[in-house]
Structure 1
Amino acid sequence: MSKEQEKEKAADDLIALLDASDRLPGVAELRARSYELLGAEPGAPMVDVGCGAGRAVAELAERGVKAVGVDPAQQMITVAGGRWPQADFRIAGAYELPLADTTMDGYRADKVFHELAEPERALAEARRVLALGGRIVLVGQDWDTFVIDSDDPALTPTIVHARADFVPGPRAARRYRNLLFDAGFDDVTVEVHTGVFAGAAMLPAVVGLAEGACSAGAVSRAQTDAWIDEQRRRAEGDRFFLALPMFVAAGTAPR
């Protein structure tokens, strides 16, 4: 497989993962809450940064919002445009948005900031494009905060923490409040919405955590296999348990 084919496969896998995540309990409600915090009113221009396959942009458009979706991945934008051809999708990253100064009433980034090495730079760009009084909403998880039931409670946090080190900003979500303050936003609030997963739908996620920790050398192959086998048995016997807090921060651009 060529490097280009590998990149395409990785993008396809990510899109499939995002689609599966969208079907998990509570996810649609969390998106709806982010739209409420944005103050998503008909006619308001808003940008969804890291829009992926475009679902949030489509849902905002259904509310009458003039939504723009941006993503740095060409394949994401291609898929989004194919699914919602009437929507406005553009290729761009969080550091350089293809938008004029003070033209947006809302800025939304869902599961994006943990991928950024320079979140402060992204927030400066958010300030640039937001109009006075515009709203910003950040949604994401803290990669150190997976609560997983296991027969080996000492090994489990080792796996979680090791996998977190693969992420550029694994603890960005716990920093949302201070990042927004430091960027000059007012009226900063933070909510926590915890998803509880007791079925097999999230088994691939915890398997991925363990495999990542093993690849990093934090745990042995034998430890990894034993831990994954236990989680599979739990899923088969309706004893699987994962709790995942999602942080939702909001603020207002100074008037």
Structure 2
Amino acid sequence: MSNTIVTPQEDDPVSGLIRLLDAVDALPSSVALRAHSYGLLDLAPGAPVVDVGCGVGRAVAEMAEHGAEAVGVDVSEQMIAVGRRRRPGADLRVGDAYALPFQDGQLAGYRAEKVYHELGDPARALGEARRVLAPGGRIVLIGQDWDTFVIDSDHPGLTRTIVHARADTIAAPRAARGYRNLLLDAGFDDVAVEVRTGVFSDELMLPALSGIADAACAAGAITPDQAATWTAEQAGRARDGRLFMAVPLFVAAARRP
């Protein structure tokens, strides 16, 4: 369930994804964004909270350090297994965003980062979030809009084709721009949305960029030669310190009435 911009092309995609997540999540901007999300949850000491799509449990451990009773849920058994090895004291469970392992009104907080684009029915997941939250409970959603990646290139038309073709392979690529209305439709109050933009200018995101091009090629939107040309250009930009990729991240917070 937990995901980032792409799944790298490796023999073990989940292991590659974990490495990419580790690198991105360690960036100062990512650390600050997670801390901001915890503040938006406004959790009292001992408050029960779930991190949906928890991956290997970084946010779960951090919320526990802040005094919350944090539980992580992820659909990937491999992610949970790695998380349990890394953080044996964390409560990490294999589970589904549509059927969370909690009673009605059990939780004070619900957090999901870079998850809702993977869900075919985000509205259903929010219905489940509302079920498990107690009245007054807080929800925070964080995610990228796959249609609005900004990538500098000598081939802007090809870049537009690649970005949009990759977006079309995602279950809900525009879920993040819909957070506000999805939350309102699910009956949440005090809905607020803000945007934080991640800017990347080095080799860190080359696996993501090559993955975007490969996906567009696999979808038939571009040719293998076009994918190779575009990926080579991005690699050259990275070597020269000229790569530029900006990813808007939408942050939505709301309260269950």
Q: TM-score range by the shorter chain?
A: over 0.9
The SS at the match of 2:103 is coil
Residue 141 of structure 2 corresponds to which residue in structure 1? Answer: 138
> Which residue number corresponds to residue 25 of structure 2?
22
1:206 matched to 2:226? The reply is no
Deviation of 1:23 after TM superposition, in Å, equals 2.3
Q: Give the match for residue 110 of structure 2.
A: 107
1:71 paired residue number = 74
How far is 1:202 from its partner? 1.2
- Report the AA paired with residue 168 of structure 2: D
Rounded to whole Å, the distance in 2 between the matches of 1:218 and 1:245 is 24
Deviation string for 1:37-86 (max 9, x for gaps)? 11133211100001100000000000010001111121111111111111
Q: Which amino acid aligns with 2:248?
A: P
Give the alignment partner of residue 39 of structure 2, picking from 33, 36, 40.
36
Query: Aligned ranges for residues 81-92 of structure 1 at < 5 Å?
Result: 81-92=84-95
Question: 53-62 or 88-97: which moved more?
Answer: 88-97
Q: Tell me which moved more, 20-29 or 221-230.
A: 20-29
Aligned match for 1:226, one of 226, 229, 244: 229
- TM-score, normalised by the number of residues in structure 2: 0.94
Q: Matches of 1:86 and 1:187 in 2, distance apart?
A: 34
Q: Which one of the candidate residues 142, 145, 150 is aligned to 1:147? A: 150
1:181-235 CA-partner distances (Å, limit 9, x unpaired)? 0000000000100011111211221111111111111011111111111111111
- Could you tell me how far 1:9 is from its partner in structure 2? 2.0
Give the secondary-structure state (helix, strand or coil) at the position aligned to 1:178.
helix
C-alpha contact 1:25 1:195 (8 A) present in aligned 2: no
Q: Tell me the amino acid that sits aligned with residue 93 of structure 1.
A: D
Which runs of 4 or more aligned residues in structure 1 lie more than 4 Å from their structure 2 counterparts after TM superposition?
none
Note if contact 1:41-1:63 (Cα within 8 Å) is conserved in structure 2.
Answer: no
> How many Å separate the matches in 2 of 1:193 and 1:146?
13
Matches within 5 A, 1:120-135: 120-135=123-138
The match for 2:183 is: 180
The two structures have a TM-score, normalised by structure 1, of 0.94
- Inter-partner Cα distance in structure 1 for 2:43 and 2:11: 34
Amino acid at match of 1:134: G
Q: Percent identity?
A: 62
Specify the code of the residue in structure 1 equivalent to 2:201. A
CA 8–154 in structure 1, closer or farther in 2 if over 3 Å, else same:
closer
Structure 2 portions without partners, runs of 5+: 1-9
Tell me the SS of whatever aligns to 1:154. helix
- Aligned-residue Cα RMSD (Å) equals 1.5
Question: Which segment is superposed worse, 93-102 or 12-21?
Answer: 12-21
